[in-house]
Amino acid sequence: MITQTPDRKILIIDAKASSHAYDVGGPELRPLLEYVKNQKIRQRGRLELSAAVLVANQFKQENERLNELNGEFLSEAGIPLAFLEVDTMLRIIGQMKQYPIARNTLRWARIFCAGGLVKPRLFEQELKAAIEETFPR
């Protein structure tokens, strides 16, 4: 899936359906890497791709290894790879339901475009800042 965030970042989302921890590595990332390369061509003259996001129930690899995989992906694709666990995604959705007006003021790039494991705490910091640093009408 391809999506655009309110801060004009284009993300490629690849969701994996599994009930167990997803074992991600070089061979598993090859199709996503090829898709990203193709989509970069398609986006020429338009908004550029900002990141790829891999969604899974959980990831088998530790945070350090996910950061290494992000680095490898970044060097080949030219964009970072974020790893989003379903629990974190559901937490983000739940909090956005409570504060839908904050959707447009969040710095989504800080959450998804740094690569590596998406941390709920970072999202919560961004949401808190968005709420506290904006003024109502």
Q: What is the pLDDT of residues 8-44, one digit of tens each?
A: 999 999 999 888 899 998 788 999 999 999 999 998 8
Contact 82, 109 (CB under 8 A): no
Instruction: Report the domain count for the chain.
Output: 1
Domain that holds residue 103: 2-132
Count helices and strands in the chain by DSSP H and E runs: 5, 5
Single pTM value for the model: 0.92
Residue 59 lies in a domain: yes
Q: Which of 67, 54, 58, 2 is nearest to 28 (CA)?
A: 54
Contact 49, 89 (CB under 8 A): no
Residue 137 lies in a domain: no
Q: What is the pLDDT of residue 19?
A: 83
- Cα–Cα distances (Å) from 83 to 63, 113, 128, in that order, read 10, 11, 22
